[in-house]
């Protein structure tokens, strides 16, 4: 158990020293700062645009980081053969994999925290410069409800990381990235799949789409960004249930990844 923590801390240490990660976060922060300018240009000073853009950048750049590090770290470890000295140390392969995963999640959470802080800073700044802004908007500028949306983004990206890790245990990084991104897109159109299943004539096709609906990760469930921005209520029970769904899915994916990883030859 302790080994998992040690491996995780090492993953984190390594990834914070990797400059690529910094540049992604720096770029995201920069983009959020410029949303202020966009807000200036649009008439009516609608703060919704800024919120939309900010939350979208957190989730897109978070996704980039999740796929990038989720696939890169295990693959690099195998490809560069650093795994040869690590695995003969007193640890099980499953512990190695879980350690990697938690290290990735730690990196992800901290990066998202940085982006979130930057996001709220931009919003607070706006409020300071234009005191009347809260009165004309549906929700206050620094609305804490947005944290709900961000929390769900975190769980969603934890799932993406788990899926990326799963693919990277047996396929090349390019293929893993493709598969993960493909699954992410498919998972976002999951509800469309159900609707599609309801209207097709062929019963086999209907069954197939229904099966896919249940098997594919339902990423759209994690997306409450627009509700939050439009000041619609997101019940705590919904957040809790979605988190539980995400964590269960993560656990299953990790079990699968560990099973493949435990049998793998490192040649």
Task: Provide the minimum distance between the beta carbon of 265 and other proteins in the complex, in angstroms, as a whole number.
Answer: 4
Do 188 and 220 touch, CB atoms closer than 8 A? Answer: yes
The stretch near other proteins (CB under 8 A) out of 39-47, 49-57, 76-84, 136-144 is 76-84
> Which of 37, 80, 131, 202: binder of other proteins (CB under 8 A)?
80
Identified binder of other proteins from the candidate list 38, 40, 60, 89, rule CB under 8 A: 89
**Count of residues of this chain found to bind other proteins when the rule CB under 8 A is applied:** 24
- CB neighbour burial string for 180-216, b if at least 16 within 10 angstroms, e if fewer: beebbeebbebeebeebbeeeeeeeeeeebeeebeee
Residue numbers 6-35 binding other proteins by CB under 8 A: 6, 10, 13-14, 17-18
Rule CB under 8 A: say whether 132 interacts with other proteins: no
Q: Does 91 bind other proteins (CB under 8 A)?
A: yes
Of residues 195-254, those binding other proteins (CB under 8 A): none
Nearer to other proteins, 95 or 156 (CB): 95
Number of C-beta neighbours around residue 69 at 10 A: 27
Beta carbon of residue 95, minimum distance to other proteins (angstroms, whole number): 10
Long-range contacts formed by 25-30: CB under 8 A, 24+ apart: 25/61, 25/65, 25/111, 25/114, 25/115, 27/61, 28/57, 28/58, 28/61, 28/115, 28/118, 29/114, 29/115, 29/118
Q: How far is the CB of 228 from other proteins (least distance, A)?
A: 37
Structural contact between residues 81 and 245, judged by C-beta atoms closer than 8 angstroms: no
Nearer to other proteins by C-beta: 81 or 230?
81
Under the binding rule (CB under 8 A), the answer on residue 2 touching other proteins is: yes
Which two tokens mark 61? 């750049």
Task: For other proteins, give the closer residue by CB, 16 or 125.
Answer: 16
CA distance readout (Å), 137 to 29, 210, 254? 24, 40, 43
Q: How far apart are CA 109 and CA 100, in angstroms?
A: 14
170 binds other proteins per the rule CB under 8 A: no
CA-wise closest residue to 166 among 39, 75, 48, 46? 75
Cβ closest to other proteins, residue 89 vs residue 230: 89
Question: Which of these segments, 3-11, 52-60, 119-127, 252-260, binds other proteins (CB under 8 A)?
Answer: 3-11
| 144/129 Cα distance (integer angstroms) | 20
Contact pick of 22, 26, 81, 195 for other proteins (by CB under 8 A): 81
1 lies in the site for other proteins, by CB under 8 A: no
Q: Considering just the CA atoms, what is the radius of gyration of the chain in Å?
A: 21
Least distance from other proteins to the Cβ atom of residue 63, Å: 23
Give the one residue of 22, 27, 84, 214 binding other proteins; rule: CB under 8 A.
Answer: 84
Q: Residues in the site for other proteins, rule: CB under 8 A?
A: 2-3, 6, 10, 13-14, 17-18, 80-85, 87-92, 263, 265-267
């Amino acid at each position: 158990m302790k080994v998992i923590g040690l491996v995780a801390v090492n993953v984190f240490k390594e990834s914070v020293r990797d400059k690529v990660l910094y540049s992604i976060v720096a770029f995201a922060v920069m983009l959020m700062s410029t949303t202020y300018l966009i807000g200036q240009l649009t008439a009516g000073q609608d703060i919704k645009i800024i919120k939309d853009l900010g939350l979208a950048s957190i989730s897109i750049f978070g996704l980039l980081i999740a796929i990038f590090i989720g696939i890169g770290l295990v693959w690099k470890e195998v490809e560069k053969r650093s795994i040869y000295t690590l695995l003969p140390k007193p640890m099980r392969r499953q512990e190695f994999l879980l350690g990697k995963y938690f290290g990735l999640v730690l990196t992800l959470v901290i990066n998202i925290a940085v982006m979130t802080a930057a996001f709220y800073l931009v919003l607070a700044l706006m409020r300071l410069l234009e005191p009347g802004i809260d009165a004309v908007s549906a929700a206050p500028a620094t609305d804490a409800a947005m944290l709900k949306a961000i929390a769900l983004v975190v769980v969603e990206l934890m799932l993406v990381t788990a899926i990326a890790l799963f693919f990277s245990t047996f396929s090349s990084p390019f293929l893993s990235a493709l598969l993960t991104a493909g699954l992410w897109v498919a998972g976002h159109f999951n509800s469309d799949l159900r609707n599609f299943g309801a209207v097709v004539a062929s019963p086999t096709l209907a069954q197939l789409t229904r099966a896919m609906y249940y098997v594919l990760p339902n990423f759209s469930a994690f997306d409450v960004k627009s509700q939050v921005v439009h000041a619609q209520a997101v019940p705590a029970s919904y957040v809790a249930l979605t988190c539980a769904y995400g964590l269960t899915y993560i656990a299953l994916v990790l079990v699968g990844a560990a099973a493949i990883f435990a049998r793998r030859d490192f040649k």
